[in-house]
């Protein structure tokens, strides 16, 4: 009889402890916390987001993914038509914007510098005035080709970059929200540092 009472008391203690832990934060609050962490910095907060994902059901995690997944189409079109990484900037990819902007401006700068040098050289460099000397044409042609190549390289980069950035972002988001896992049963430790107690929560995917 005493053993039965002891077992019942232990079960009540475990259930009370679990109820106290879950009462601290409802799934809705975990969902809101997940949104805040993702919007602040997905990469830096990835571990915290993954911990929160254990408190959310599949529908809530999928909703978070749908909200914060990035589309690359609009950014790609803007970078292609307008250039200078405008689409990447709207996408939130500041690194891609800086690289695209630097490459395209550098290309234009080389072309402009070549034209200025050619124009000034016609008046100040004797070799440019010699009709048999093709130095001026070589410099003009080489500078324009080099500048155009740098500019074109920057434009190609800015077209490809949105897809790469969106793919990396979405894959990380899917991973931290555990939408890419195939496990039907997952365990998450629950710790109460105040009372020095711990337990586990099990999540079954149906």
pLDDT tens for each residue of 15-68: 444 444 444 456 779 999 999 999 999 999 999 999 999 999 999 999 999 999
d(CA 162, CA 169): 10
25 or 192, greater pLDDT: 25
Sole residue written with tokens 């430790």: 189
Position 139 scores a pLDDT of 86
Least confident residue range of 22-31, 101-110, 165-174: 22-31
Tokens of 148: 């155009």
d(CA 102, CA 106): 6
Tokens of 70: 């990035």
Helical ranges in the chain per DSSP H: 2-24, 27-40, 46-53, 58-68, 73-81, 86-91, 94-124, 126-129, 135-176
Q: What is the pLDDT of residues 80-98, one digit of tens each?
A: 999 999 999 999 999 999 9
Sole residue written with tokens 């994902």: 53
pLDDT band at 79 (very low <50, low <70, confident <90, very high): very high
Position 199 scores a pLDDT of 56
The number of C-alpha atoms within 13 Å of 65 and in the hemisphere containing its C-beta is 21
Q: What is the dihedral of CA 134, 137, 141, 147, to 10 degrees?
A: 120
Q: Give pTM, 2 decimals.
A: 0.72
Position 141 scores a pLDDT of 92
Can you name the residues that pair with 198 across neighbouring β-strands?
191
Tokens of 128: 């440019």
Contact residues for 99 (Cβ-Cβ < 8 A; gap 6+): 85, 154, 157, 161
Q: Taking residues 66-74, what's their average pLDDT?
A: 96
Position 100 scores a pLDDT of 97
């Amino acid at each position: 009889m005493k053993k039965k009472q002891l077992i019942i008391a232990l079960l009540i203690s475990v259930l009370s402890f679990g109820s106290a832990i879950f009462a601290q934060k409802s799934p809705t609050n975990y969902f809101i916390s997940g949104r805040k962490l993702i919007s602040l910095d997905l990469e830096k907060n990835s571990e915290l987001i993954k911990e929160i994902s254990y408190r959310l059901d599949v529908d809530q995690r999928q909703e978070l993914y749908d909200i914060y997944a990035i589309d690359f189409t609009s950014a790609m079109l803007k970078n292609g038509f307008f250039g200078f990484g405008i689409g990447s900037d709207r996408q939130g990819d500041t690194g891609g914007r800086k690289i695209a902007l630097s490459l395209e401006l550098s290309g234009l700068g080389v072309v402009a510098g070549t034209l200025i040098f050619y124009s000034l050289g016609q008046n100040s460099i004797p070799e440019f005035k010699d009709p048999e000397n093709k130095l001026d044409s070589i410099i003009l042609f080489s500078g324009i080709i080099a500048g155009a190549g740098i500019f074109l390289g920057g434009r190609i980069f800015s077209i490809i970059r949105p897809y790469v950035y969106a793919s990396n972002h979405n894959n990380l988001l899917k991973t931290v929200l555990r939408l890419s896992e195939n496990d039907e049963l997952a365990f998450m430790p629950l710790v109460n540092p105040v009372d020095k107690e711990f337990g586990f929560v099990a999540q079954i995917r149906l």
